Structure 1
Amino acid sequence: MEVNLMRRRELLVGAVALGVTWPLAARMAGSNPVSDTAGDAPAEDIRLAGLLQRHAEALKAEEGGVDRLADYSLAARARRRQATLQRLAELGGIERAALSATATLDYDTARFVYEAMADQYGRYGFSDLNLRPSPYVVSQMNGAYFWLPDGIGGRSPMKDAADADRYVDKLGQFAVALDQETEQIRHDAGLGVIPPDFILTKTLRQIATLRDAAPTGNALTASALARAHDAGIADLDRRASAIFVERIVPALQRQSAALAALLPRADDRAGIWAKPGGEAYYASALHSNTTASYAPGELHQLGLAWVEELSTEIDQLLRAQGLARGSVGERMAALDRDPRFLQPDTEAGRQAIIDYASAHLDRIKGLLPRGFRVIPDRPVEVQRISPAIQDGAPGAFYSASSDPAQTSTIFLNLRSVAENALWRIPTLLHHEGIPGHHFQDSVLSEAGGLSLFRRTVRFSAWTEGWALYAEQLADEMGAFESDPFGRIGYLQGQLFRACRVVVDTGLHHARWTRQQAIDWMVANAGEHRDAAEREIDRYCVYPGQACSFMVGKQQIVASREKARQRLGARFDTRAYNDFILASGPLPMQVLDGAVALA
């Protein structure tokens, strides 16, 4: 509690330095959104706060918890849609004009969330509170088999027999979740929603990896059983093995069979446009992911302009290093083959990459005072992505620990050592770790003051936009002062996200083929072909999500420059950065309004 109070005071100071005099600053210094404002807040503010508190508790319950996984059934999906429509109706009973500036942000955020959720729950595929819909409930990057094993096996508490019982119960729930998804696979196929053949093939291969694993040596069991052994818990190996063999393996086989049955009906058309109502689906997904109002064609053209601008800057830096022959993409590809930046394709080489990443992470921590006033101290480490899922996984991702005392993790995909040339590694760490996702998560966790509703909702454009902005911040803080190739890596990371915008809108709006998208990414982003293929397949199953990075980052930068122009000499970039993080997740259009009022 003392830490949270300290952080609130620090954030309040930062907000005042930015020029914040409106009620958001006061709420940053408070704790309970109802009781702290009840004395002088407008009555409508109090009504809204109570309504959103009740909504947030229900939303959290829908997501499951320590003892219970979420309900993945079609019936649960229908219930969630009805509940969302009810919440939207209740929100409509609030008089927006009577709200304070702070409460208006909460109201506008809630309306955006509920309208997006109601729309998506009315469609096929997978959707949830993250507002990152997928037309395919199970794919190479989605489904219980993909998301749940590491959490169940790696993060389930394992201190005593009661913990062991809860873990065993969750294994049983996992089998139920698989069958619930299989039910929806068949339902959606009846609507004509069938993943492309290359997605089905990759997904089947990954499901088989888990299905055919040793009962006590897979992502669901190995870590949990090791921790149980250390805690002196007896007989868990036998119990977990029995559930894996008797319940989980058959459920995985049923899911695999349902997907395999779709192969004769599948084709290689990559875009959502080829599915029922595909154009409307993409417009909805693009809006919820970017939280901005871009038409697909407009965003495609913006992406091309961003690619041209970044390519020009990279060209100049490459020439300064004596690399002048070939296209920008070809010269960056040449850097990937440069022995100066490569480690051996061995386990020792992979460990050397992890060690290099860990050392750079320590270095960027020392530069944080240049970009922030509030600097949380929560542990984070670098590990490799499990070989069981690395073929379909992204190049890197961040996994936050639910316990502040436990270490969070930045995962690197080391399937190919050649795809992890050292000139690329720092920017991955800035994005996933510091000052990116780990720093973002740490500030939110320690700041306090946000309502449960605001801590529950999530937006890709805010989350991923911040992480891409964090790459720029790292450069501005001096991370590449003596590392020209690292700075090229930073700009390549920006270029990569700009290319994502072009390719995502290309696939789902301009009707590009998978091969056309891969070739364009390789030629313009300097990506390895294998990596580009994984990325394109990711965009195929998450339409619009790839656009959230660049759109969110550009909005954060644009809002910063507006604030700089308005405040002049009073503007402090560190206070702005603290303010953006402390504001909590917001749709981009709402965030811009918050900064404008500051």
Structure 2
Amino acid sequence: MMKKTIFISLLMILGSCKEKNDSSAFAKAEKQQIAQQFNDWLEVQFQQDLSRDPEMQTSMGIKTDYGKWTDISSERELEDRKLAESRLAYLKDTIKSAALEGQDLLSYKLYKNLQEQAIEDYEYRLYTYPVNQMHGMHAEVPAFLINMHLIDNEEDAEAYISRLEGIEPLFSDLVEGLQLRESNGILLPRFVYEKVLKDSRNLLMGEPFENSNQKSTLLADFEDKIAKIKLSKSKKAELMKSAKMALVQHVKPAYENLILALEDQQQRATIEDGVWKFPKGKEFYEYALKRTTTTDLSADAIHEFGLSEVARIHEEMKGIMKQVKFEGSLQDFFAFMRDDDQFYYENTEAGKAKYLKEATAHIQTMKAKLPELFNTLPEADIVVKAVEPFREASAGKAFYQQPASDGSRPGTYYANLYDMKAMPTYQMDALAYHEGIPGHHMQIAIAQELDSLPEFRKHLFHTAYVEGWGLYSELIPKEIGFYKDPYSDFGRLAMELWRACRLVVDTGIHSRKWTREEGIKYYTENTPNAESDAVKMVERHIVMPSQATAYKIGMNKILELRNKAKTELGEKFDIRVFHDVVLTNGSLPLSLLEGLVDEYIESKN
């Protein structure tokens, strides 16, 4: 059971929490007043951000602006920068940071860092691909409606219809943003257009867009949802008529205009994939690496670290080969693991259902062992689902969706079962631990449930911390007896190897001018994964520069800090307390996490 107020003794040792001996009672009262002023101000800022972000409201289970979309216009981006500048000025000029201690001082550092990043981000605001095969708006908008927009009553249904109508102006801003990027020398890579166009056209298939026995993706979702609420037949029929009208009059032209814009840009797209091709591309990539890893590691340092980790993991894999008495080279073993039918379920509905059932079982088994590793557990539940058909062809292998803050929606581990040959059973354990428990679900759900932190800290996402924890979570189960099957342990190593290769390929593409084909070749020669995995991963590197470096860099830092604590504390080291230090402060830059662990060590010595 989650303990909402996390161990007072622990909080006293975190975030520079040593109390100073104040000779004056007035000084102590003044500090309390400044801390209260600061926290009150933080809450006002969070509520302001929330009021400007209807999609975040929905993700938290709030229905205040249930029929609206979050503004993505250029005007809004400028407003955001100005807001960050005013907040930064307030922090520097009004809040006496020297009077803050403990979690208040940590909140100050975090919030100041966020504003500085927001200001710096503005310079590179066009260096993104708002439509891409991974997380493009063309697919995320319908996915949001399907997975986030619950319909509990007539008002919720009307809000859904309002959002359907709002897709047209939303996509108008999206197209404007794509055209603005091109005018600044930034176009999607050529291969992306075909994938995005296919997904966009898929959304316009079925009723009411065409005369068909099949309902379109969004109409089917709406009909299914209103069928489950108590309304008269005539009211449901009225709502269905309004939804069809919104789809035809607003959603269809929205996608058609997006498709036309993409087809136009496609003619001028190039096969050069790295961000080095952009104006100030080198500077952008350096900033992206710094932003993603929350370190000052250079592209060259990350590349070399990746190469050394690939070599280390290869040696561990050779140990597994000996264990299972496999005759041949490591490449032969890769081919065996990649091609042998024993490691795959059938690419049928029955095979996919079996995968989901067993992935759920792995998570449930791990749940029972959590008290051995953690003092703090999440209240929110987690479910396992397959990625929806309309986006499975281009979506990633697996991902996690956070639960609603109010408990109305569980966390969700999405497994992409489009190609069962890309989902080997020997990787099932590690994948479930990463996306579910003790991985993303533990970290994100716990952060959302912390009563002791300001609200903004419950929703931060530092990629190296979040994904570093996810990869670290693949290792933790081995330390308490999981992965007894050597093939599943090979799967764990294969997934870590995959993340080590990411360091090499991401920097190769964006810093060393590798081609898409060179990146794919590196994966196929150094990992047991299917070629389709390699293609998707390289294409992900291309559209999300630096993002994939977060996993191994973050995991390495967490392990480094844990080893340091174990070495210095000896018998006084408690893995559960260490995990509290890591998890009960919300998402952090790695530098701040390191400071907290150092203070934890010092407090125990």
**TM-score over 0.5 (shorter chain):** yes
1:175 aligns with 2:175: no
CA offsets 1:349-403 (integer angstroms, 9 cap, x no match): 1112112212222221222122112233432222111121112211101112314
Q: Secondary structure at the match of 1:410?
A: strand
1:331-346 alignment, distance < 5 Å: 331-346=333-348
- Give 1:110's aligned amino acid: Y
CA contact (8 A) 1:120 1:284 kept: no
When residues 428 and 204 of structure 1 are mapped into structure 2, their CA distance, relative to the original with a 3 A threshold, is: same
In 2, distance between residues paired with 1:185 and 1:24?
A: 47
Farther off after superposition, 359-368 or 422-431: 359-368
When residues 579 and 385 of structure 1 are mapped into structure 2, their CA distance, relative to the original with a 3 A threshold, is: same
- Give 1:102's aligned amino acid: Q
1:533-552 alignment, distance < 5 Å: 533-552=535-554
- Give 2:52's aligned amino acid: E
- Give 1:264's aligned amino acid: Q
Aligned to 1:7: 4
CA offsets 1:88-145 (integer angstroms, 9 cap, x no match): 22222244444324333222222322222211222243xxxxxxxx621222223322
1:505-524 alignment, distance < 5 Å: 505-524=507-526
Aligned to 2:23: none
When residues 324 and 280 of structure 1 are mapped into structure 2, their CA distance, relative to the original with a 3 A threshold, is: farther
1:166 aligns with 2:159: yes
CA contact (8 A) 1:105 1:594 kept: no
CA offsets 1:28-48 (integer angstroms, 9 cap, x no match): xxxxxxxxx995745543443
2:415 to 391, 412, 416: 412
In 2, distance between residues paired with 1:153 and 1:327?
A: 44
In 2, distance between residues paired with 1:95 and 1:263?
A: 53
TM-score, structure 1 length as denominator?
0.90
In 2, distance between residues paired with 1:311 and 1:86?
A: 51
Q: Secondary structure at the match of 1:157?
A: coil
CA contact (8 A) 1:459 1:585 kept: yes
TM-score, structure 2 length as denominator?
0.89
In 2, distance between residues paired with 1:252 and 1:38?
A: 60
- Give 1:194's aligned amino acid: L
CA contact (8 A) 1:555 1:588 kept: yes
1:455 aligns with 2:458: yes
In 2, distance between residues paired with 1:194 and 1:353?
A: 38
Aligned to 2:79: 79
2:242 to 231, 239, 243: 239
Q: Secondary structure at the match of 1:444?
A: helix
CA offsets 1:314-366 (integer angstroms, 9 cap, x no match): 121122212242235x5234213223222122121111211221222222122
Aligned to 1:29: none
- Give 2:164's aligned amino acid: L
1:121 aligns with 2:114: no
Aligned to 1:154: 147
- Give 2:105's aligned amino acid: T
CA contact (8 A) 2:15 2:595 kept: no
2:228 to 206, 227, 230: 230
When residues 417 and 159 of structure 1 are mapped into structure 2, their CA distance, relative to the original with a 3 A threshold, is: same
Q: Secondary structure at the match of 2:390?
A: coil
2:373 to 371, 374, 378: 371
CA offsets 1:391-432 (integer angstroms, 9 cap, x no match): 221110111231425333211111111111110111110000
Gaps of 5+ in 2: 20-26, 58-62, 209-213, 601-605
- Give 1:7 shift: 3.2
- Give 2:173's aligned amino acid: Q
Gaps of 5+ in 1: 27-36, 126-133
In 1, distance between residues paired with 2:34 and 2:549?
A: 36
Aligned to 2:581: 579
In 1, distance between residues paired with 2:283 and 2:174?
A: 24
Aligned to 1:32: none
1:139-538 alignment, distance < 5 Å: 139-215=132-208, 217-233=215-231, 234=236, 235-328=238-331, 330-402=332-404, 403-480=406-483, 482-538=484-540
CA offsets 1:249-283 (integer angstroms, 9 cap, x no match): 11111111111111221111111111122111111
- Give 1:213 shift: 4.2
CA contact (8 A) 2:171 2:254 kept: yes
In 1, distance between residues paired with 2:561 and 2:423?
A: 33
In 2, distance between residues paired with 1:250 and 1:310?
A: 51
CA offsets 1:24-67 (integer angstroms, 9 cap, x no match): 699xxxxxxxxxx9957455434432333333223323332332
CA contact (8 A) 2:446 2:583 kept: yes
Count residues with an aligned counterpart: 571
Farther off after superposition, 134-143 or 538-547: 134-143
In 2, distance between residues paired with 1:103 and 1:331?
A: 53
- Give 1:231's aligned amino acid: I
When residues 23 and 304 of structure 1 are mapped into structure 2, their CA distance, relative to the original with a 3 A threshold, is: closer
- Give 1:469 shift: 0.9
- Give 1:22 shift: 6.9
CA contact (8 A) 1:144 1:177 kept: no
Farther off after superposition, 290-299 or 401-410: 401-410
In 2, distance between residues paired with 1:580 and 1:597?
A: 12
Farther off after superposition, 410-419 or 42-51: 42-51
Aligned to 1:91: 91
In 2, distance between residues paired with 1:113 and 1:462?
A: 15
In 2, distance between residues paired with 1:315 and 1:366?
A: 32
Aligned to 1:34: none
In 2, distance between residues paired with 1:138 and 1:265?
A: 16
When residues 57 and 405 of structure 1 are mapped into structure 2, their CA distance, relative to the original with a 3 A threshold, is: closer
Q: Secondary structure at the match of 1:583?
A: coil
Aligned to 2:60: none
CA contact (8 A) 1:343 1:417 kept: yes
In 2, distance between residues paired with 1:409 and 1:258?
A: 34
In 2, distance between residues paired with 1:318 and 1:58?
A: 57
Aligned to 2:110: 109
- Give 2:350's aligned amino acid: A
In 2, distance between residues paired with 1:198 and 1:543?
A: 16
CA contact (8 A) 1:372 1:577 kept: yes
CA contact (8 A) 2:399 2:435 kept: yes
When residues 12 and 214 of structure 1 are mapped into structure 2, their CA distance, relative to the original with a 3 A threshold, is: farther
- Give 1:532 shift: 1.1
Aligned to 2:565: 563
- Point out which structure has higher relative CO (alpha carbons under 8 A, 6+ apart): 1
Aligned to 1:51: 41
